Amino acid sequence: MGLFLVKRVLTLIATLIGASVVVFLVLEVLPGNAAQVLMGADASPAAVAALAHKLGLDQPAWTRYWHWIAGLLTGHLGNSYAYSAPVIDLIRERMALTVPLAVLSMALTIVIALAVGVTAAARHNQIGDVGLMGLTQLGIAIPNFWFAILLILLFSVKLQWFSAGGFDGWGEGLDGLWDGLKALLLPALALAVVQAAILARITRQAVLEVMREDFVRTARAKGASRHTVLWGHVLRNAMIPVVTVMGMQFSELLAGTIVVENVFYLPGLGRLIFQAIGQRDLIVVRNCVMLLAAMVVIVNFVVDVLYAVIDPRIKASDI
């Protein structure tokens, strides 16, 4: 297990370095000038040059890259051009919404997908299987922003059970926690519906393949109930492709909430990136994109480790 983890950690570090180089270079080749945007189109060249010098934009690219990496390692990400505030504070404030939203969405996705996928596999080629797969096909076809609007019309406008948007923070105590979760429930459900539909189909297919294995027939012959075999034996052995998709979906939920955040007026990380791009606040964009890339890489690392936990044969073959 030690060698397996070492190899995965080295791969993680190399991937993060490569991602940082790509993020920096891509933003470097973008047209425009942050100093010019901040000063306005009518600003004199001398004023623009002075601001560019103050922001360090006139330094060589490699110097700015190393300063940026040093800041990432020490937690000093600089100040936002547009907000005149430390970038680390902006990110920390927005992550307090984006991460819980992604976790809640992923939890809903897993619960719905496993229940639907295993149930459909247990009723293979029956009416229940066909009906559930039809619903998942519909779920895949529904855009999450359109589903979000439907949720607002039903639960906010008509039933008035939930707020139509906004987020007041987590507050204090259990009441503050409940208010925060209540504000994120509809956005999380809007994000989860498409992901759950995809994961349910993957789960069904994986469970069907495992159900054909000899050990399943042996377990049934020993008197194990169908429920026990499905949830205790079959599902665990079918989890490799399911966990793979879960990892990709969680990464997508962390990085792809911009549309839903705008529908519900949520001050999350995606909306911060969207606003920073419009203001050409490259220091915010660069750090946010790198943070999202790092989270995706780390999620994939965790998935690799989970492979070895679920199926020790993967660890042995890798070594």
pLDDT of residue 238: 78
pLDDT of res. 6: 78
- 194 with 234, same domain? yes
State which of 33-42, 101-110, 281-290 shows the largest mean pLDDT. 101-110
- Same domain, residue pair 230 and 285: yes
Indicate whether 38 and 96 sit together in one domain: no
Residue 308 belongs to some domain of the structure: yes
* Same domain (yes/no): 170, 115: yes
Is residue 82 assigned to a domain? no
Task: Look at residue 170 and tell me whether its pLDDT is greater than 70.
Answer: yes
Whole-angstrom Cα distance, residue 18 to residue 216? 44
63 & 92 share domain? no
The torsion of the CA quartet 97, 99, 102, 108, rounded to 10 degrees, works out to -90
Place of tokens 């607002």: 152
Specify whether 263 is located in the same domain as 311. Answer: yes
Same-domain status, 149 and 228: yes
Does residue 7 register a pLDDT over 70? Answer: yes
At residue 27, the pLDDT reads 73
| Confidence label for 112 from pLDDT (cuts 50, 70 and 90) | very high
Which residue segment(s) compose the domain that 210 sits in? 87-318
Report yes or no on 25 lying in a domain. no
Secondary structure class of 79 (helix, strand, coil): strand
Query: Among residues 23, 45, 74, which one ends one of the domains?
Result: 74
Residue 86 φ/ψ, nearest 5 degrees: -60, 135
Confirm whether 1 is domain-assigned: no
Last residue of a domain, one of 20, 45, 74: 74
Nearest alpha-carbon partner for 162 in 144, 192, 185, 191: 185
- What CATH number should be reported for the domain holding residue 252? 1.10.3720.10
CA distance 246 to 254: 12
Q: Are residues 205 and 266 in the same domain?
A: yes
- Quick check: is 27 in a domain? no
> 205-218 pLDDT, tens per residue?
888 888 777 777 77
Residues 126 and 52 in one domain: no
* Confidence bin at 312 (pLDDT 50/70/90): low
What total of structural domains would you count in the chain? 2
Convert the pLDDT of each residue in 209-261 to its tens digit: 887 777 777 777 777 777 777 777 777 777 778 888 888 888 778 766 777 88
Torsion of CA 179, 184, 185, 189, to 10 degrees: 180
Is residue 173 helix, strand or coil?
helix
Q: Which of 41, 74, 107 is the last residue of a domain?
A: 74
153-166 pLDDT per residue, tens? 988 888 888 887 77
pLDDT confidence of residue 206: 86
Q: What is the mean pLDDT of residues 71-84?
A: 81
Q: What is the model's pLDDT at position 250?
A: 84
> Do residues 48 and 103 share a domain?
no
Kindly state whether residue 19 falls inside one of the protein's structural domains. no
Q: Are 70 and 179 in a shared domain? A: no
Residue 167 lies in a domain: yes
Distance, first Cα to last Cα, the chain = 9
Q: Residues with Cβ < 8 Å from 5, sequence gap 6 or more?
A: 305
Give the CA diameter of the chain.
85
Task: Say if residue 59 is in the same domain as residue 156.
Answer: no
Percent of the chain with pLDDT over 90: 4
In a domain, 206, yes or no: yes
pLDDT band at 38, cuts 50/70/90? low
Backbone angle region of 142, left / alpha / beta, with phi > 0 → left and psi within -120 to 50 → alpha: beta
Q: Is the predicted pLDDT of residue 314 greater than 60, yes or no? A: no
